[in-house]
Amino acid sequence: MKQARGLSGLVLLCALLACLGGCSRPSAPSQDHPRLTSDIELRDITFHSAALNRDMPYRVILPKQTTPERKLPVIYLLHGGGGGFRDWSNYSDIDSYAARGFLLVMPEGGTRRTT
């Protein structure tokens, strides 16, 4: 019984330390340096979410040579915990998919505030 209480206390302490390390501390927005080729276009867009009662940003990457009537297949890319909507374009070569005719949509997940 005593060992079980000690173990549960240790688990609680580890959870508290993990949360203090990342849950409650707001992180600064990362620098934006998208890795893009010249044949694609990047657009950052903000929309107001009525459900969340706040503005939410997202990034769209698409081929430059497209027309409004052309339908493109869409890929939605979600960032990981603590990340942001700019991560995919800053830390990967995801633009190669847009160059092949895909529309890429990267919404902000709301884990940190962006400006």
pLDDT tens for the 115 residues of the chain, in order: 455 444 444 444 344 334 334 433 344 455 888 888 888 999 999 999 999 899 999 999 999 988 889 999 999 999 988 889 999 999 999 989 999 999 999 999 875 554 5
pLDDT at 82: 83
66 found inside a domain: yes
Residue 22 in any domain: the answer is: no
Spatial contact of 84 and 91, defined as CB atoms under 8 Å apart: no
Boundaries of domain holding 82: 29-107
In a domain, 65, yes or no: yes
Residue 84 burial (10 A CB sphere; 0-12, 13-18, 19+)? buried
1 lies in a domain? no
pLDDT of residue 65: 87
Strand ranges for 28-68 from DSSP E: 40-49, 54-63
d(CA 34, CA 38): 12
pLDDT of residue 30: 58
Q: How many domains does the chain have?
A: 1
Q: Is residue 5 part of a domain?
A: no
* Residue 114, domain member (yes or no): no
